Amino acid sequence: MRYLAEMMTDTGVPATMARVLAFLFTSETGGGTTAELVARLGVSPAPS
């Protein structure tokens, strides 16, 4: 996932967007919950 995100940023995709897209592209279901995304990317969730 990290390599894919790096390749996307090299082509001009913003870093955060690249990480989220890489997560979605590499997940088994093509999606995920916010909790899964937060855990996989190692970020804090957005305030509600």
Q: What is the pLDDT of residue 3?
A: 93
pTM: 0.78
20-30: average pLDDT: 89
Compute how many other C-beta atoms are within 10 angstroms of the C-beta atom of residue 31: 10
18 and 24 Cβ atoms separated by less than 8 Å: no
Compute how many other C-beta atoms are within 10 angstroms of the C-beta atom of residue 5: 22
State the alpha helices, DSSP H only, in 1-48: 2-10, 15-26, 34-41
Q: Domain residue spans in the chain? A: 2-32
Q: What is the pLDDT of residue 41?
A: 87
Nearest Cα neighbor of 4 from 16, 21, 32 is 21
Confidence of residue 48 (pLDDT cuts 50, 70, 90): low
Q: What is the pLDDT of residue 43?
A: 87
Q: What is the pLDDT of residue 25?
A: 92
Per-residue pLDDT at 24 exceeds 80: yes
